[in-house]
Chains A and B, each alone.
Chain A
């Protein structure tokens, strides 16, 4: 069965959607992703949709679901590469993708993810001990 490949970069997962997805493929992706996030203890997911020239409400739902599920698993999601025609159509459609962060391209998306997950990298290898949030990091986020 065809699957969409999920690549790993450190504690981040990178997914590039290039095909015209049918429903089963989308469900498979959601399953695969949640498994991988959990198995890896991933802190971030980069979803590259720069090859998607159509995003309908089904795909929009999938993207929102992925972001929500990732968040439950303590991972941030950033969607990158949305094409202008797609953005215009989504606005017209009334789809706002709530809770989904976006960036223009992979580079900016990675930077955003690094920034969002930076304090986690400073945590000790040992996951049982969560290092206390120190004032120096100061990016405004609350601990825990």
Chain B
């Protein structure tokens, strides 16, 4: 988009900014005083810095805000947008920081222009520039929010997949909620990592809290079991409710030789057995005081 007179028009802006910087600064800061949160001193400091970077950029004669000459300006606006986002400013409030420079600037341009055409050109050039810079702050703000959401999602994934050590060498992974592809992958990685860290022989994946299982999820579970076996551990899947059992059969998913148990308790019992342990009941009254106060304790003997 070439504007033959644009270089002259931005030239007028450059001239005005250079000649009337202090006045512009004062009026601009005054225009921002209504904006929530920005203390007068802070607003003044930021405005001063912005103009300090804008002036030399304009002096180079560059016509586009994407040009290298404006790198410092954009850098400053990027930082400003990010810090304001953290402070709770809305993207509009931050963009207004840039837009509110227009009025004082246009006033000066009107005084500076020789003809109506020249004024129109310079106002248009100034508008294009400040609009682009203002929108840039919005973009940065947006990106910052998206990155934050991604980080929070990652944290949530980690928190929602706790791996529990049920006994020496026996881990349990109680899964709750729906399993989507990315979550199942994170779960898989976490479980396998814990297996290595604890030297577990058996991992029980309990899906009591999972309402539905689709083909993809079932495949992911199978892959987890296969990977664990490749590493030298084994898995038991427990908590398969009747509906899920039906779904699995209907989907034609082949669980192969993966051991499944209806309840976590059954799976635990099996895991203990496989790792060479039994649970025996101590004779009532033998442990602790007589009577109902003495609980039947379960001990494991390896």
A–B direct touch in complex (beta carbons closer than 8 A) = yes
Within A25-80, the residues touching B (CB, 8 Å) are 79-80
**Minimum CB–CB distance for A56 against chain B, Å:** 14
Whether the Cβ atoms of A84 and B196 lie closer than 8 Å is yes
Does any Cβ of A come within 8 Å of B37's Cβ? no
Q: Is the CB of A91 within 8 A of B232?
A: no
Closest Cβ of chain B: how far from A96's Cβ, in Å? 8
Q: A102-B231, A102-B232, A104-B233 are in contact. Are A88 and B192 (CB under 8 A)?
A: yes
Residue B247 at the chain A interface, CB threshold 8 Å: no
Which of B222-274 touch A at CB < 8 Å? 223, 226-233
Q: Quick check: A87 and B199 within 8 Å, CB to CB?
A: no
B196:A91 contact, CB within 8 angstroms: no
Interface members, chain B 179-211 (any A CB < 8 Å): 188-189, 192-193, 195-196, 199-201
Contact B193 A91 (CB under 8 A): no
* Interface SS, B side: helix
Interface: A103 (CB within 8 A): yes
Interface pair B189/A87, CB less than 8 Å apart: no
Q: Which of B259-301 contact A (CB under 8 A)?
A: none
Question: A88, B199: Cβ atoms under 8 Å?
Answer: no
Contact at B232–A88, with CB atoms within 8 Å?
no
Contacts of A102 in B (CB 8 A): 229-232
Shortest beta-carbon distance from A59 to chain B in Å: 13
**Closest chain A CB from B184 CB (angstroms):** 12
The answer, yes or no, to whether A108 is at the interface (CB within 8 Å) is: yes
A92-B192 in contact (CB<8A): no
Contact A105–B199 (Cβ < 8 Å): yes
CB distance from A89 to the nearest CB of B (A): 9
Contact A104 B227 (CB under 8 A): no
Residue from B188, B201, B229 within 8 A of A88 (CB atoms): B188
A115 to chain B, nearest CB (A): 12
Please measure, in the bound complex, the distance between the C-alpha atom of A85 and the C-alpha atom of B228, giving whole angstroms: 11
Knowing A90-B227, A102-B230, the reply to whether A84 touches B199 (Cβ < 8 A) is no
Q: Are A84 and B232 in contact (CB under 8 A)?
A: no
Option from A87, A92, A96, A107 in Cβ contact (under 8 Å) with B231: A87
Q: Does A84 contact B233, Cβ atoms closer than 8 Å?
A: no
- Asked whether A21 is an interface residue with its Cβ less than 8 Å from the other chain, the reply is no
B200 surroundings in chain A (CB, below 8 A)? 104
Separation in Å of the B276 CB from the closest CB of chain A? Answer: 12
Q: A84-B189, A84-B192, A84-B193 are in contact. Are A91 and B199 (CB under 8 A)?
A: no
Contact A90 B232 (CB under 8 A): no
User: What are the residues of chain A within 8 A of B230 when measuring CB–CB?
Assistant: 82, 87, 90-91, 96-97, 102
B232 touches A108 (CB 8 A): yes
Interface residues of chain A, those whose CB is within 8 Å of chain B, are: 79-80, 82-85, 87-88, 90-92, 96-97, 102-105, 107-109
| Contacts A/B (CB < 8 Å), 17 sampled | A84-B193, A84-B196, A87-B192, A87-B230, A87-B231, A90-B230, A92-B223, A96-B226, A96-B230, A102-B231, A103-B232, A104-B195, A104-B199, A104-B231, A104-B232, A108-B199, A109-B232
